[in-house]
Structure 1
């Protein structure tokens, strides 16, 4: 096993050569070319249009879009974490100019705070927090809204029609991981776990394997459907300082020990097939480890993105201009220039194999999308006070302008090509974005 301390990333491999200087000379020709470009952009810019539909708002109201053309509006019925919310479900119209059609209404736990919605296998899963510790999930029939069951935990679908519920169960002092039958809520299997020390392997949108990393003892990989132990691997060294967390990257299990004092971390990699220990990597507080296609990337504001071979940790490329990976689409990476993910930042498209900058897309604020593999939308304020919406397309390496939303503060989220934003006065607007 190899232990590698990256330290400063500078000089690990040859950086991308700087962009050539802008050509000079013949000022008139340059001015004319710029004027033509501005006229072309103005002609192609979308025209501001009002919301296709307006959703009532108010104090404590939350509006969520979910894939499949549904919009969920939650209104507190009784305030407080132990209260309830009334949830009304609307079908979004087929196109602009239609109206939202109410489908059904229900009450769910949690009058404020956590509110999450998923749709899976003909069911709607709504999660709220019943008190400061216990999150509760309600399973409803997607067509009628009829409640099927209610249990504690955060839900994630598993293969074979199951649902993994994780979190604190009332009366317990440790976290319990349970897998239940999705239609009935019947328990299939359960196991106590250390908080944060589990990892999930996905087959499409569903979990097929659960990896458990106990405080001491051997690491286990279990079948998500039955709970059967598929493989037990190298024991994790006990007594590692600070908080520990687990994640998966390709065919590797990454266990990260966090130094609670200095912020440094040690990442230990295990092969997922046989759970054998592969390598360890020390990261200072200023560096972050992330997936970038088939490689691993270490990002920092000081040195940019360094791509590593996940099998050997051998440096493959470095690009000093960008610091984190926002999305991976095939052989292209959507990257950004700093770590301020909630604000407007500079985005670009890189070639995942070489780190070469394919195109710079300008400054945008990313819009959260319910579908992790769905389109990537960015927003930014126009000089006229509208909100410009663009699709950040890594495949075409362009930021394609789609719409301008008038007088929108900018609090938006999306699902598929549907967009919801808060409007002045507290109401919400819904738009169907063009392709």
Structure 2
């Protein structure tokens, strides 16, 4: 590998900008955000030409296939083939001890299976797999410390607000089951049949709070995600073709379904009272999301388009952003920069005004709504700057400069765990 470099950089924190300002930036007196950006730029220039630090701890190699998926659970690094490695023959999920990287257990998948993802529920690791090409999804609960199998359950896991998990078991026609299980034993607690439109969820900060089932004839049933009990039921207008809706989405406290041709209508989820109706683009890829208290409409085009959830009135739109993602009480926005690196900023959801700028980063991981994420920036001489980005606080904490290029990293507090594009992982010890 390279020279085993692990540079630990502590440059302090980026303060939150108290004065929202739009992009682009005309000539104006320096604001706190502009001064912060200038300081960060100076710091990066210093890093780019910095001499290596003496007595750096070497990186610790860990075997991993190209395109692996990985997670840190308690004091274990878990490594598995990722969804992009189907057909390469790898069927082993391995647990490594942190911070040393020693292999302590292995879990071997059935022949033909591949890993869809790794997740956690309560104190368990869930390995979600599926046979390549066909077959039901299976989630296996493992003890993170030992790799021992606790239980196996058909379906794809969906976490609940109360700390439990639901399993979706859809069929090709959109019907199927959703099931709740006992976390200790894996035994089924209750299940609900899915209508042809599938299932929608009302979500809290940590997971699902209500299950919303909508039939093509307009029947709506809202169930508690913990007990499965029916909370209330009612009706909305049926789908135009009596077969399926184009939209059946829950956004905050609204149920969105097709209205007339080219429109979507919002109903209050608790009473199914009609709130508003707006036109939607004819593209089949259009969808709505809860954007930190406002409603976002997305399609295949870049840009942000937001609506007032109470009235359906358009609040603002901005074509500068490739997209926006809710992060607690603000929106994370990304604009094109260099290659995979994006100019990142947080926005006020009601106005679209910039609250804080973070500079140019490529984000790691897949959870874009996480309040704290790792960012990566290429430096000269084939090095990578890694920083912890705290989006609600508007802060950047530089974590390390690593030799070479990296697909992704996880911050395990005492070490950065990083995956090479060509395969193989390295644990880079950190000094705080």
TM-score, length-normalised on structure 1?
A: 0.74
Q: Does 1:412 align with 2:413?
A: no
Shift of 1:103: 3.7
Aligned residue number for residue 13 of structure 2: none
| Inter-partner Cα distance in structure 1 for 2:214 and 2:430 | 43
| Inter-partner Cα distance in structure 2 for 1:278 and 1:47 | 62
Return 5+ residue gaps in structure 1 as ranges: 1-14, 24-33, 94-98, 260-264
Deviations 1:93-149 (A, max 9, x none): 2xxxxx124343222346454332222222222110035131111122344332232
Aligned residue number for residue 98 of structure 2: 92
Aligned residue number for residue 141 of structure 1: 143
| Inter-partner Cα distance in structure 1 for 2:57 and 2:258 | 47
Deviations 1:230-288 (A, max 9, x none): 1112235223587745443322233479x9xxxxx743322222233322332224976
Aligned residue number for residue 370 of structure 2: 373
Q: Does structure 2 retain, via aligned residues, the 8 Å contact 1:133–1:168?
A: no
Q: Does structure 2 retain, via aligned residues, the 8 Å contact 1:166–1:176?
A: yes
Aligned residue number for residue 178 of structure 2: 177
| Inter-partner Cα distance in structure 1 for 2:153 and 2:102 | 29
Deviations 1:389-415 (A, max 9, x none): 23333345455433222112x311436
Aligned residue number for residue 54 of structure 1: 61
Q: Does structure 1 retain, via aligned residues, the 8 Å contact 2:305–2:317?
A: yes
2:45 to 22, 42, 45: 42
Aligned residue number for residue 363 of structure 1: 360
CA pair 251-50 structure 1, distance change in 2 beyond 3 A: farther
| Inter-partner Cα distance in structure 2 for 1:326 and 1:233 | 31
User: Any residues of structure 2 matched to 1:12-411 within 5 Å, and which?
Assistant: 19-21=25-27, 40-43=43-46, 52-58=59-65, 62-74=68-80, 85-93=91-99, 99-109=100-110, 111=112, 113-131=114-132, 132-158=134-160, 162-168=164-170, 174-194=175-195, 197-240=198-241, 244=246, 246-255=248-257, 266-284=263-281, 285=283, 289-298=288-297, 304-330=303-329, 332-337=330-335, 343-368=340-365, 372-397=369-394, 399-408=396-405, 410-411=406-407
Deviations 1:190-244 (A, max 9, x none): 2231466312234443433211112224111112233221111223522358774
CA pair 118-41 structure 1, distance change in 2 beyond 3 A: closer
| Inter-partner Cα distance in structure 2 for 1:245 and 1:430 | 45
Q: Does structure 2 retain, via aligned residues, the 8 Å contact 1:73–1:87?
A: yes
| Inter-partner Cα distance in structure 2 for 1:161 and 1:113 | 26
Q: Which moved more, 1:139-148 or 1:298-307?
A: 298-307
| Inter-partner Cα distance in structure 1 for 2:136 and 2:302 | 42
Deviations 1:379-434 (A, max 9, x none): 232222112223333345455433222112x3114366565433365211234667
CA pair 163-329 structure 1, distance change in 2 beyond 3 A: closer
Aligned residue number for residue 7 of structure 1: none
CA pair 202-333 structure 1, distance change in 2 beyond 3 A: closer
Shift of 1:325: 1.0
Q: Does structure 2 retain, via aligned residues, the 8 Å contact 1:51–1:429?
A: no
Query: 3-state DSSP class of the match of 1:183?
Result: coil
| Inter-partner Cα distance in structure 2 for 1:353 and 1:81 | 46
Q: Does structure 2 retain, via aligned residues, the 8 Å contact 1:208–1:225?
A: yes
| Inter-partner Cα distance in structure 2 for 1:273 and 1:434 | 51
Query: 3-state DSSP class of the match of 1:20?
Result: coil
Deviations 1:316-343 (A, max 9, x none): 344453342134243x3321126x9993
CA pair 50-274 structure 1, distance change in 2 beyond 3 A: farther
Shift of 1:158: 3.7
Query: 3-state DSSP class of the match of 2:91?
Result: strand
Q: Does structure 1 retain, via aligned residues, the 8 Å contact 2:303–2:317?
A: yes
Return 5+ residue gaps in structure 2 as ranges: 1-20, 30-36
| Inter-partner Cα distance in structure 2 for 1:402 and 1:144 | 30
CA pair 54-41 structure 1, distance change in 2 beyond 3 A: same
Q: CA RMSD in A?
A: 4.2
| Inter-partner Cα distance in structure 1 for 2:267 and 2:58 | 50
Aligned residue number for residue 9 of structure 2: none
Query: 3-state DSSP class of the match of 2:309?
Result: coil
